[in-house]
Structure 1
């Protein structure tokens, strides 16, 4: 005995019918080679096809999610970043440059050495990093502490290494190295290293004084400032900052100009004085 199926009647015009038939074609709901609206509706009712909200995300939402994706990548959360990227690619609101950028990253989500570095950092495992730079020099480093940090517009591998030869920082920080990630070639090799993981980078405390309006308006922008005190008798502010790299410290305080004076350590103060003297010499020698 044939089982009788229930039927429904749709009140739609020819344009709406054509649109439903096109959807049936798009989602493979056909009878033979013809689109079948009944099959389309049944697929929706049984959950084989799911309805989604209209593609009406505004630009601000897309921009916020794209920034969040970059933060996930910066912190090494690759699986979460990949999920978010795939979610964004499902949206029709993406502009072409962003879609192209996301698709390129999804197709090749991580450089092998970068993924391994993230794992070593999370597991606190020392590793050997070997790579050849643009000048064809081969570098070998035994890394015992590392973290990925962003300075200005680039990401860097900030690490403590056994090797100190060629390090141009002052002596207490000779074990610290900073490598721009986008300058490490794809062919770089990582391998396990014996020995312990260092609890942190090398650090030193730098004392400097601020005067004038800067002394009154200065607010610590970093947890690295371990002392920040106003000295009413001299009308200046004393700051002690814990640093791991003098290059970035000098780059930061250089913008304070004459309102900032480095007091200690003496070798860092002397290095900065030498830089200032080189500047002055350049201005005396170079004429417009």
Structure 2
């Protein structure tokens, strides 16, 4: 007959007992089909299981992982984002507000309309949605091409729509819309009949870059069709980019002002020139008042 092991008594709450049983089940430490806490304690004593601190992660690490979770959601990788959320929830140092946010996310990882949009995009299926703009006006759009993207740290749906009313971009890009995801009205996405387009409407924009920007510039993948130094002006870089929204292009180049000019198309060049003239008048008016 084998020698019986010595017994010990654990003074723990019923909740902690359940947690130990669940841990034993997760690790496959059972007697038959039931969890075995004694074997679990024995495995710890024999260092088959290592116990480590669950409260030593820095705030930077936690924030980085949470940002990664959000980025995975924005990229449509919900399964991976759930793994990161579960990893964070296992930590004891997670602050209560973040824990509540993660609990809510795990319970409802993504809104149904977001899943519907991603499904329609994958299936090349035209669809309709309702959208509330910054002035709280509700629009209905029939979308025949769409892609989820990021502009200045916000998530958007860049799409080709039947409707052009109210679009202030160039006529060639009038069918393109850039819709903030958080302004899409819930439970408003539905499929429609018709053809799916191959992409957004685009135009070619030629720019010249000067001084430090010319040397520091890095080509935009899948956007720049030409990126070269001018032979007759060796310190000027010529860039020809395929653009689907002049709004975002002007936002980008306005940071560089005198280091970047638009050459074509003429309509966009004039639009940028008017913005510069308006800013010049504004500066003059402030100077006159002072």
TM-score over 0.5 (shorter chain): yes
Quote the offset at 1:23 in angstroms.
7.0
Structure 1 residue 205 and structure 2 residue 204: aligned? yes
Offset of residue 284 of structure 1: 2.3
Unaligned runs of at least 5 residues, structure 1: 11-16, 31-37
Q: How far has the Cα of 1:261 moved from its partner?
A: 1.2
Task: Quote the residue 1:8 is aligned against.
Answer: 5
Show structure 2 runs of 5+ residues with no match: 22-34
Cross-structure match for 2:284:
284
What secondary structure, in the 3-state scheme, does the structure 2 residue paired with 1:27 have?
helix
8 Å Cα contact 2:128/2:189 also seen in 1: yes
Measure the CA separation in 2 of the matches of 1:232 and 1:272: 26
In structure 2, the partner of 1:122 is 122
1:79 matched to 2:76? no
Q: 1:214, CA displacement in angstroms? A: 2.5
The CA deviation at 1:216 is 3.0
Name the structure 2 match of 1:27.
Answer: 17
Provide the C-alpha distance between the structure 1 equivalents of 2:198 and 2:240, rounded to a whole number of angstroms.
22
Q: Is the 8 A contact 1:44 1:51 kept in 2?
A: no
SS at match of 1:67: helix
Q: Is the 8 A contact 1:228 1:237 kept in 2?
A: yes
Partner of 2:160: 160
Matches within 5 A, 1:141-156: 141-156=141-156
Moved more, 192-201 or 278-287: 278-287
1:246-261 matches, within 5 Å, as 246-261=246-261
Question: Structure 1 25/228 Cα, relative in aligned 2: closer, same or farther at 3 Å?
Answer: closer
Inter-partner Cα distance in structure 1 for 2:130 and 2:216? 46
Structure 1 residues 231-250: aligned runs within 5 Å: 231-235=230-234, 236-250=236-250
C-alpha displacement at 1:252, in angstroms?
0.7
Change over 3 Å in CA distance of 1:165–1:57 after alignment to 2: same
Q: Is the 8 A contact 1:24 1:40 kept in 2?
A: no
Shift of 1:136: 5.1
CA RMSD of aligned residues (A): 2.9
Distance 2:41 2:249 in 1: 60
Match of 2:271 in 1: 271
Aligned mate of 1:41, from 16, 34, 38: 38
Scaled by the length of structure 1, the TM-score of the pair is 0.81
TM-score by length of 2: 0.81
Range that drifts further, 108-117 or 162-171: 108-117
**Aligned pair count?**
267
